[in-house]
Amino acid sequence: MVRSGTAQSKPGLPRSLRENTTWYETINNSSDIYRRRFLSALLIAGLFLPLFVAVLSWQSGESWNYLPLLAVEITLAAGLVASRLLPQRGVNILIGILLAAYPPAYAWGAFAPGNHQTYIFVLLCMPPIFDNLAPQRWYWHWCAYAVSVVAAVSFSSMFGAQSAWVTDFSPRIVLMLHGIFIVLWALRFVTRLQLRNYIAELADNIVRDKATGLPTIVAFRDAVQREKKTFVGLISVGNFRELSALFGYSISIEILSIAASRLQKMQEHLNGKAFRLRGHDFGFIREMAVGESALDVAHSVQSGLTGPIVFQDKTIELSYRIGYTVIADGDAEKALDEAEEALDMAEENGLDCAAYSIFGKKATEAEIHIADLMTLSRNVSNKTMSVFYQPIVSLSSGKTAWNEALVRFLGSGESYEEPTRFMELASTTGHWAAIEDFMFERAIAWACAEGGSVSVNIALKDLDREAIRKTIEAGARAAREKGSAIILEILEGDFGSASASRLQALKGLRDSGCLIAFDDFGTGYSNYSRLLTMPVDIVKFDRSMIKGARGTRAEATLLQGLIRFCYDIGALTVAEGIETKELADFATDVGFDFGQGYFWSKPVPEFSAVSAERTMLIAGKMARP
Ligand code: C2E
Ligand code: MG
Ligand code: MG
C-alpha cells in the first residue's frame, strides 16, 4: 500500500463552493419562479375576498365598509400587476412589503369592529404564506416577527381585549384553528428542510468528485467566472499511463488520491483552489496579486506536487505537467482551452510547464526562458544566489564524509530554486563564470571555517580561466591546512570534450591538493576506460545505475564489477540518489563506500548543514571509511 500522501482525508466541499455554482443557482432561481406564481395566485384570490365581504356588508347594511374595501381592491390589483411585471429584485421588495403588512392586517382584522370572519380566516393562513413567500435569507426574521404579532393579538383578545374574535368565535375555536395551522406549518417546514438537504446532497454529488474529494469541473467553471485576474493551471500526471500499465488499476486510484491530497495541501499553502477536471487531469486556480509572476505560481504548484511515493514496496516518482494561462475576463471555457493548449505544448516539448501564448509554441518557450533569464541575471548581478550543502555519508560509520555544494537561485517568490535549467541558460548567456566563481569562493570559505571537506561542481571549460585555477589552488592549500579537502566534481560526460591543456590544468589542480570526482557516472556517453586514463579519486555512480541494479541481476553484476574495479584503482565510490533505507542497505551490500541522497538529507542552506568529519577525508590522503 501507499505510505506517503494518504488518500483518506476527503473533507466535504465548503458550502460557498457548492452554492456558488450555476447549477445550484438554477435550482434556487426556479424556486423563485414558483414563489412569484404563488404570489400572483394569492393576490388573485385576495381580489375576490373583498368583493365577497362587500356583498355581505351590503346585505347587512354596513355601508361604511365600502371605502376600505375599495382601497384594498386597488392595492391588491396594483400588487398583481406589479408581481407580473417587476424584475426579481422588485418582486422581492413587494413580497417584503406584503409579509411585513400581514401581521398588522391580522391585528386590524382581530380588533376592528364589525363582522370580519372571512378576513380572519385568510389571515389565519399566514403561516403557509410566510413559508412559501419568505426569501431564504429572511425566512427566520419574518417568522419571528409574524409569530410574535399573531401570538400577542391572539392572547390579548382571548384574555379579555374587545375584538372580533370575541364576537365571532369562541376562544376554543380560535385555539383550535391556530393549532391546526401550526401543525400544518410544522409539516411544511420539515418537508422544506428535507428538500433543502436533498438538493444540497445532490449538488454535492455533482460538484464533488468521489474518488478524490476535490470539486469537479462544474465548480471549476463557476469559480473561474467569479475571479478577476486569475492563474488557471491544468495539471496532468505525466507518467500515469505507464504506471497504470505497470501496476494495474489499483495504482491509478492511488495516484489520483495522492495528487489530490497534495493539491489540497497546496490550496492552503498557495491560497488557491484545486479541482479534479477529468480523467487524470486536475485544475488549479489562484487570484494573481499585482506584479506576481504566473511562472512562479506554476513552479510552486509543481514543487508542491512532486515527491516520491512508495507503492508495493517500490519507490515511484510521479511526474506532473502544468499548462497554464492567466485570464482577466472570467471566461472559463476559454481559460480551459488555453490551459489545455499550453499543456499540449509542454508535452510536445518535454517541458514540465508551459504558458499559453497567442504566439504559439516558440513564444511559450521564449516566455519561460525570458522569465528564467531575468531571474538568473538578477541573481548574478545582485549576488543573491546561495550555496546549499548535501552530505555524502560513510555507509560503514554513518558519518558525514564531506558535503557537496549546490547552487540555488533566488526566485521571485522568495524561495530558492533548483539550478539545472538556470545552469543550462547560464552557459549560453555568459553568466556561467560568475556563478562558478561565487560557488568556489563560498565553498572554500566554508571548508576553511568549519565545514570540513567540500565538493564543488565544475565544468572542464572553467579550467581555461586562470583566475579560477588560482582561486582553487589557493583554496585547496588553505583547506588542507585545516585538514579538509576541496573536491572537484566533473560530469563524466564532460570528459568527451577534454582537450590536452584542460587535462593538464586538472592534473595541476590535483597536484595542489584537490581531489577529482567523476559525477553522474554511468549516464550519457559512458566510457569506462576513462577510469584508467583520467586522474580520478572518487567515482559518483548515478542514481539510475543503482535503481537499475536493484531491478535486474545483470545490472547488479555489472555494478559490482565496476565497484570492484574502482577499488582496485584506488578510487572511492559514492552511490547517488539514495532515497530510502532499502536503497541505502542495497548500496552498502554491493560495496559502495559512501552514499548521497534524500534518505540522509536534501541539500540544505549553510546554517543548517552538518559539518563533515575531518578525519575521514584528509587532503591528499584518501582513507576508506
Ligand atoms: P549533481 O552534481 O549530480 O548533484 C546532485 C543532484 O541530485 C542535486 O540536484 C541534488 O539535489 C539531487 N539529489 C540528491 N539526492 C537525491 C535523491 O535522493 N533523489 C533525487 N531525485 N535527487 C537527489 P540539484 O541541486 O538540482 O543539481 C542538479 C545538477 O546541477 C547537479 O547535479 C550539478 O550537475 C548541477 N549543479 C548544481 N550546482 C552547480 C554548480 O555550482 N556548478 C555547476 N557547474 N553545476 C552545478
Ligand atoms: Mg555533483
Ligand atoms: Mg551527481
Burial 463-502 (b: 16+ CB within 10 A, else e): beeeebbebbbebbebbbeeebbbbbbbbbbbbeebeeeb
Strand order in the sheet with 273-278: 273-278, 281-287, 230-237, 320-327, 353-355
**How much is the pLDDT for 458?**
95
Beta-bridge partners for 390: 404
Nearest to 588 by CA among 578, 598, 603: 578
- What is the spatial distance between Cα 424 and Cα 411, in angstroms, rounded to a whole number? 16
DSSP of 216-262? -HHHHHHHHHH-SSEEEEEEEETTHHHHHHHH-HHHHHHHHHHHHHH
Count Cβ atoms below 10 Å from residue 551 Cβ, excluding itself: 10
Q: Stretch 539-554: mean pLDDT, rounded?
A: 86
Nearest to 238 by CA among 355, 315, 351: 351
Question: Residue type for 338, please?
Answer: E
* Alpha carbon separation from 170 to 122, 159, 258, 321 (Å, rounded): 18, 12, 71, 79
Smallest CA separation from ligand 1 atom 25, residue: 406
Distance 311 CA to ligand 2 centre (A): 29
Count Cβ atoms below 10 Å from residue 317 Cβ, excluding itself: 12
- What is the spatial distance between Cα 124 and Cα 120, in angstroms, rounded to a whole number? 6
Residue 420 CA, closest ligand 1 atom number: 30
**How much is the pLDDT for 619?**
44
Our mutation pick for probing the ligand 1 site, out of 423, 444, 602, counting the most ligand atoms within 8 A of Cβ, is 423
Q: pTM of the full predicted structure?
A: 0.50
Nearest to 482 by CA among 607, 387, 615: 615
C-alpha cell read off for 298:
506554476
**How much is the pLDDT for 7?**
36
C-alpha cell read off for 295:
511562472
Instruction: Work out the percent of the chain whose per-residue pLDDT is above 70.
Output: 86
Instruction: Check pLDDT > 90 for residue 254.
Output: no
Our mutation pick for probing the ligand 1 site, out of 299, 303, 387, 457, counting the most ligand atoms within 8 A of Cβ, is 457
Instruction: Check pLDDT > 50 for residue 8.
Output: no
Smallest CA separation from ligand 1 atom 17, residue: 577
Q: CA 235 from chain center: how many Å?
A: 10
Residue 308 CA, closest ligand 1 atom number: 21
| Residues 481-510 pLDDT 10s | 888 999 999 987 677 667 888 889 999 999
Indicate the pLDDT class of residue 604, thresholds 50, 70 and 90: very high
**How much is the pLDDT for 284?**
93
| Residues 347-366 pLDDT 10s | 877 777 888 865 554 445 55
Beta-bridge partners for 516: 488
Contact residues of ligand 1, CB 6 A cut-off: 390, 406-407, 418-420, 423, 436, 439, 457-459, 489, 519-520, 577-579, 596-598, 603
Where do we find the cell 382584522? 109
| Residues 182-225 pLDDT 10s | 787 787 778 777 877 777 777 777 788 888 888 888 888 888 88
Q: Which ligand is nearest to the CA of 596?
A: 1
C-alpha cell read off for 151:
401570538
- What is the spatial distance between Cα 154 and Cα 151, in angstroms, rounded to a whole number? 5
Instruction: Check pLDDT > 80 for residue 242.
Output: no
Residue 603 CA, closest ligand 1 atom number: 11
Protein residues near ligand 3, an ion, with CB under 5 A: 519-520, 576
Indicate the pLDDT class of residue 227, thresholds 50, 70 and 90: confident
CA-CA-CA-CA torsion sign (90, 94, 99, 104)? positive
Beta-bridge partners for 488: 456, 516
Q: Stretch 508-517: mean pLDDT, rounded?
A: 93
Indicate the pLDDT class of residue 6, thresholds 50, 70 and 90: very low
Instruction: Check pLDDT > 70 for residue 620.
Output: no
Smallest CA separation from ligand 1 atom 37, residue: 406
Q: Stretch 156-172: mean pLDDT, rounded?
A: 68
Question: Residue type for 391, please?
Answer: P
Residue 459 CA, closest ligand 1 atom number: 44
